[in-house]
Amino acid sequence: MKIFLQPLFPAEGRGPGESCRCDFARKFRTVLDPALRRGTESGFPAARLFSWAIAVVSLSLASPAVAQEETPAPTPAEILAAAPAEHWLPIPVSDLMILTLPEAAHGTKRQAVIQLLPAALSGGHVRNVRKLAGSRWWDGTKIYRVAKDFVTQFGGNPDAKKLPAGLETVPESEYFNAILGAKRDSDMAALKAAVDYSNQYQGTEIRPLMKMIYENGGAQTVGFGGGWPIGSQTNEGETKYYPLTCRGALSPAHYDPPDTGSGAEMSVITGEAARSLDTSFGMVGRVIDGLEHLQNLSLGTAAGGFYADKAEHITINSVRLASELPLAEQPSYEYLASYSPSLLQYIESHGGFGNICTVPVPIRKVSK
C-alpha cells in the first residue's frame, strides 16, 4: 500500500489561536514527513507509521512543559551553594569559645565550638561566661547530667569549685533585650523587601516564614536577627524580645527565682522540649560545631538525667576563648544572613511545618 501525504495544514499563514496547529504542522513537515515517506516505501504499514508520527510530534511539543514539571527541587546543600557570597557573614573570632573533652575511646578528638551572643545583644551572663573562660575556670570541671533530648549539664556543681572574683549578679530582666528585638525587626523587614523583589522581578515563589513554619514555644512573634532565632511577647502594651533556646543553645542553670545563676553551671540544649526555658533561664550562645560530642554521651540514670555515680562524670579538659588561641588554631565560621531569601528557601527545602528551631540557621566553617 502506498500512502499519499498531503499537507495537514497550509505552509504559510496563521489565524487567531492557531499557533499550536502551525507548530504541529511545521514539526510534521520538517521532521516526520520525509521519514514517514521512507517508511511506507520500505513496506511498513501506513496506518501504524502515521499513528507513530502523530505521537512523536505531540510528545515533542509537550516535552518542555513535562521537563519543567519534572525538574527536581534544589536540595538544601544546593540552595546554600547558590546563596550570594555577600550573604555569608563572618562570625567574629572574639565571639567563639572552644570546649574540649578527652579523646573518645577510639582516639577521635572531641571539641565543641560555641558562639556567644555578641556583646551588643547580650548582658551580664555573657560577660560572666567570658570571664569564666578567660580564667580557665571550667578546666577540670565535670559533665554530670545528660537527659535525653533535653540537656547536657556541666560546670560548678558537684565540685563546688570557687568562682572567680568579679562575676555579676544578673537580674531576671536581662533575659530580655530590646536591641536584640530591633535587630530582628530590621532584618525581617529587609528580608521581606528582598523576597518581594525576587518574587516580582526574578520569577521566584518564596513564601513568608510563617507560611512554612508554626510556633509552639510560647512566643507571640518569631523571626531571625543577626543570625539568631528571636521571639517576643507583648503584655499590657510592652513588647519584650529574647533569644530562643533552640537545640544547641547554652542556658545558665540556676536555683529558684529571682536567682538567675552566674553562668558557671551551664546547660547545653539537646532537644526541643527545652523551649520551656525561653524566658525562665535565658540563653548566652549556641554550639555551632561538634554538638554530637555533648549529645551522644551515656544518659544519666538518676532522676532528671543526672549521673547516679560520680564515677560516670565526664571531665572537661578545657574551655578557651578562641581569640586567646594561637592565630593558626583560631577557627573561622560564617552564617547565612537573616535578610537573605536563601534562608527561607533553605528552611522550606526541609519540608516546613516545624517551628523556628526545627531547621538550624546555616553556619559553615571556612578556611582562612
Could you tell me the residue ranges of all domains in the chain? 19-70, 76-365
The C-alpha cell that represents 163 in the structure block:
568562682
Q: What is the residue type of 61? A: L
CA dihedral 105, 274, 180, 83 (to 10 degrees): 60
39, 83, 159 from 55: Cα distances, Å: 16, 42, 80
Grid cell listed for 249:
543553645
CATH of 76-365, one of 3.50.50.60, 3.40.50.720, 2.40.100.10, 3.40.109.10: 2.40.100.10
Residues in the chain: 368
Query: Does the bond joining 64 to the residue before it have cis omega, within 30 degrees of 0?
Result: no
Per-residue pLDDT of the chain (368 residues; tens, 9 = 90+): 433 334 443 444 444 444 444 444 444 444 444 444 444 454 544 444 344 444 333 434 444 544 456 788 999 999 999 999 999 999 999 999 999 999 998 889 999 999 999 998 999 999 999 999 999 999 999 999 999 999 999 997 677 789 999 999 999 999 999 999 999 999 999 999 999 999 999 999 999 999 998 877 788 999 999 999 999 999 999 999 999 999 999 999 887 777 788 999 999 999 887 787 788 888 999 999 999 999 999 999 999 999 999 999 999 999 999 999 999 999 999 999 999 999 999 999 998 778 999 999 999 999 97
Are 340 and 195 within 8 A, CB to CB? no
To which H or E segment does residue 191 belong? helix 178-201
Which residue is listed with cell 571539641?
111
